[in-house]
Amino acid sequence: MSAGKCEVCLEEKPKLVTCGRCGSRKYCGAACQRKDWPTHKHACQPKKQPSWILKITIPDSREPQIWRTLVCPDGATFQELHYAIQIAFGWAAAHSYDFVARDPTADERPVDDIRALIARRMGQDAGEQRDFGPRQNYIRIVNPNDDKHIDSLHSYDRKHSQTPEKKADKVHVGEQFNKNEWKNAEWEYMYDHGDEWGHEVEIIGRGNVDDAFKCTDGNGHGIAEDAGSMRGWEELKDAYRAAKPTDEQKKRMHWFENLAKNFDPEGLKGRESHVDLSLINALLKTSMDCMD
């Protein structure tokens, strides 16, 4: 509370109450605040909070490991964070995705034998919800356009009857990262439920109040879309490392430089750790502006 003039009765008071939601309106007391709310609620916007600084890593990547540091606005939706990750890692946004808050105390899921896998797939095809082992996640935040991607068929194994799901375009980052119920959660972003490109999302700090995404650091060239999981990516890197590439390796390099959804005409030779932060940030700015 501080000295000033009430914005409803206009009386000067030694101490005023500030609107706890936006912090911009001041009142002499609760009565004036209640009287003002029917009008003020239309303009009242939550006070902007500091951005989140996230280190996002593809943990299965090696030599080099691929990671980016992103500044993410507190008010961003998880759908916006998805697009920012796509840009930062050079993905082509051609597949489905989800975010999960993993419970670090959850029991491991069993490894299926082929008969159990077939039985579960048949149950899923029949529209049955069959939980695959114990609950793993506190919450699952899903692609609102999941049904438009063929790889969404593989996402059934990430569903669980005890795990609530929300649409990524309706959920804000700050709301979830601040949840006391899962403050110890390990966040994961999964892109392409077929190839399963898992990304660990680590909260490493808070920044300034910011409306824009920024990529401040990183390592490792973006992975080729549809490379065929990590094994396919490693085989592509081996092709560029070969002193005398085989015909098959030459085909792989031609595909990456000309035909991949996120092709790179410069290839990978000598560029495996390459990250162009200026280009990423230019794309973040123009792409996110288009979403406004």
Q: Report how far residue 48's alpha carbon sits from residue 53's, in angstroms, rounded to the nearest whole number.
A: 15
The stretch 93-113 carries a mean pLDDT of: 86
Q: State which fold the 52-220+279-291 domain adopts.
A: 3.10.290
In the predicted model, is pLDDT for residue 282 greater than 60?
yes
Confidence band (pLDDT; 50, 70, 90) for 157? Answer: confident
- pLDDT number for residue 124: 64
Which has the closest alpha carbon to 160: 130, 190, 181?
130
- pLDDT number for residue 43: 83
- pLDDT number for residue 127: 64
112-116, 174-178, 288-292: which is most confident: 174-178
- pLDDT number for residue 106: 85
In the predicted model, is pLDDT for residue 22 greater than 90?
no
Which has the closest alpha carbon to 225: 250, 246, 194?
194
- pLDDT number for residue 85: 98
User: What is the residue-averaged pLDDT of the chain?
Assistant: 89
The stretch 133-149 carries a mean pLDDT of: 86
- pLDDT number for residue 19: 86
What's the pTM value of the predicted model, to 2 decimals?
0.81
Least confidently predicted of 60-69, 102-111, 164-173, 259-268? 102-111
- pLDDT number for residue 270: 94
Q: Report how far residue 141's alpha carbon sits from residue 97's, in angstroms, rounded to the nearest whole number.
A: 9
- Higher-confidence position of 166 and 146: 166
Least confidently predicted of 21-25, 49-53, 71-75, 145-149? 145-149
- pLDDT number for residue 187: 97
What proportion of the chain, given as a percentage, has pLDDT over 70? 90
Distances (CA, A) of 191 to 121, 135, 195, 199: 21, 21, 8, 8
Q: Report how far residue 233's alpha carbon sits from residue 252's, in angstroms, rounded to the nearest whole number.
A: 10
Q: Where are the chain's structural domains?
A: 2-40, 52-220+279-291, 223-274
- Higher-confidence position of 281 and 210: 281
Q: Report how far residue 81's alpha carbon sits from residue 83's, in angstroms, rounded to the nearest whole number.
A: 5
Collapse the DSSP code of 218 into the 3-class scheme (helix H, G, I; strand E, B; otherwise coil) and give the result: strand
Beta-strand ranges (E) seen in the chain are: 2-5, 12-18, 26-27, 52-58, 66-72, 97-102, 137-142, 165-167, 186-191, 197-206, 214-219
In the predicted model, is pLDDT for residue 156 greater than 80?
no
Per residue in 37-83, pLDDT (tens digit) is 998 888 887 778 899 999 999 999 999 999 999 999 999 999 999 99
SS3 sequence of 19-39: CCCCCCCEECCHHHHHHHHHH
The stretch 214-225 carries a mean pLDDT of: 97
Confidence band (pLDDT; 50, 70, 90) for 18? Answer: confident
